[in-house]
């Protein structure tokens, strides 16, 4: 069974979608670790309910990104993680993790990259007046949302849409697409132990 680590910063709806896909047999993986940079985040409760080990930390308590990423790397190695899945992790991955894990970290972004990278991609799409946006799963590299694209799915934008309407439509697609892509990566054996 492929061991994955999920990095998240918030409520954990994509984390939950991954757990649900494992429970219903659509995803053949074991979430070996949750990494969270906000110790009060709701995603931690979701992990605790499933007895998933969690590494939660306050980045400001460390002298540098390298310092906390070195600890994360040790946690990943101890858990024998084979693939790192970013699911609403709101910080850029630094050199310490990338130098060891490039090609083994994937991210989910709420736009059709390269359009609308970075923060508030949904707001960016609404403000631009485009008729559709989407969801992208991509490998993480040294840029912000610039890594090789694995899969994308479009999401329409309607004239009557509020930001909340569009967010709900995008989340629905994310929750379906992300577990499917993770399973495809596992089946294609592009991953191996960190």
On whether the CB atoms of residues 135 and 170 are closer than 8 A, the answer is: yes
Contact (Cβ atoms closer than 8 angstroms) between residue 91 and residue 44 = no
State the average pLDDT for the chain. Answer: 95
pLDDT band at residue 189 using 50, 70 and 90 as cut-offs: low
Q: pLDDT tens-digit profile of 120-176? A: 999 999 999 999 999 999 999 999 999 999 999 999 999 999 999 999 999 999 999
Per-residue pLDDT tens over the stretch 20-52: 999 999 999 999 999 999 999 999 999 999 999
pLDDT at 190 over 60: no
Are 5 and 84 in contact, with CB atoms under 8 Å apart? yes
Phi, psi (5° rounding) for residue 118?
A: 80, -155
Give the Cα separation of 127 and 146 in Å (integer).
22
User: pTM for this one?
Assistant: 0.94
pLDDT (0 to 100) of residue 193: 45
How many CB atoms neighbour CB 92 within 10 A?
13
Residue 78 predicted with pLDDT over 90? yes
Which domains occur in the chain, in start order? 2-187 (3.40.50.170)
Catalytic residues: 109
């Amino acid at each position: 069974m492929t061991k994955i680590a999920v990095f998240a910063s918030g409520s954990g709806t994509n984390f939950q979608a991954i757990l649900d896909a494992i429970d219903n047999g659509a995803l053949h993986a074991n979430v070996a670790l949750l990494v969270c940079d906000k110790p009060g985040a709701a995603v931690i409760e979701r992990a605790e309910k499933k007895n998933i080990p969690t590494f939660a930390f306050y980045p400001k308590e460390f002298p540098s990104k390298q310092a906390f990423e070195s600890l994360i790397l040790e946690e990943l190695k101890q858990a024998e993680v084979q693939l790192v899945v970013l699911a609403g992790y709101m910080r850029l991955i630094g050199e310490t993790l990338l130098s060891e894990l490039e090609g083994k970290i994937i991210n989910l972004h709420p736009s059709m990259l390269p359009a609308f990278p970075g923060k508030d991609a949904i707001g960016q799409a609404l403000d631009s007046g485009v008729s559709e946006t989407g969801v992208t799963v991509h490998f993480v590299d040294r840029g912000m949302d610039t890594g090789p694209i694995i899969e994308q799915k479009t999401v329409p934008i309607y004239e009557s849409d509020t930001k909340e309407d569009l967010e709900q439509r995008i989340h629905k697609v994310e929750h379906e697409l992300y577990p499917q892509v993770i399973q495809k990566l596992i089946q294609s054996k592009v991953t191996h132990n960190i």
